[in-house]
Amino acid sequence: MKPKVRIEIIQILFLVAVAVFAAACGKKNVKQAAVTEPVQVAGSIDPDTGGDVSEREGSLRNKEYSSDPAILVVRFDFDRSELSAETRQTLSANAAVLKKRPDAELQVAGHCDERGTTEYNLALGQRRANAVRDYYKNLGVKIAGMSTISYGEERPACPESTEECRARSRRAETLIRTR
């Protein structure tokens, strides 16, 4: 066999092997693993992060949260998750209320307007929720009783496609549940 023909056969076999491997990877049967909540003991160390487990977010499972008129919603600029000076003031007032309720569990829900893809808006809503959570943490609100979630564009505050409605939909809500 000539060297040139041998190289072409090797190249063809290599391409076939890559195609078979890619097809096999795309058809994996992934079984859903049972998810269990880790036991959190105050003062114990998380083996993954080395941090105190009391700094871990709370669970969202099987919990009903509701709004409280004393805890205000914060708004965000288009395509932003940074906290403005006005937002920080509102969150500081919220934190003062939340610190008086140590038995409450919190959920910070991030929302977006309808512009952008579903995936992008879910990620942006999560960044907004995380920014609020982190600010609360810096103000001394305990994070162990707090969880975050993003609804992206799925729960608009206003269904119209006007700029005023879109601005109302770009928000983070702090919801509460008393244990």
Task: Encode pLDDT of 157-175 as tens digits.
Answer: 998 989 999 999 999 999 9
**Stretch 55-59: mean pLDDT, rounded?**
54
For residue 113, what is the domain's CATH number? 3.30.1330.60
Rounded-to-integer distance, Cα 112 and Cα 100, Å: 30
| Confidence tier at 46 by pLDDT (50, 70, 90) | very low
Note whether residue 26 is domain-resident. Answer: no
**What is the torsional sign of CA 116, 124, 109, 151?**
positive
Q: Which two tokens stand for residue 81?
A: 């998750």
Count of domains forming the chain: 1
Note whether residue 81 is domain-resident. Answer: yes
**Domain range for residue 109?**
53-178
pTM of the model: 0.66
Interval 58-97: pLDDT, tens: 555 557 889 999 999 999 999 999 999 999 999 999 999 9
pLDDT at site 10: 72
pLDDT at site 71: 96
| Confidence tier at 108 by pLDDT (50, 70, 90) | very high
Which of residues 121 and 57 earns the better pLDDT score? Answer: 121
Note whether residue 2 is domain-resident. Answer: no
Note whether residue 41 is domain-resident. Answer: no
Note whether residue 32 is domain-resident. Answer: no
What is the chain's mean pLDDT, rounded? 79
11: buried, middle or exposed (CB in 10 Å: 19+, 13-18, 0-12)?
exposed
Note whether residue 24 is domain-resident. Answer: no
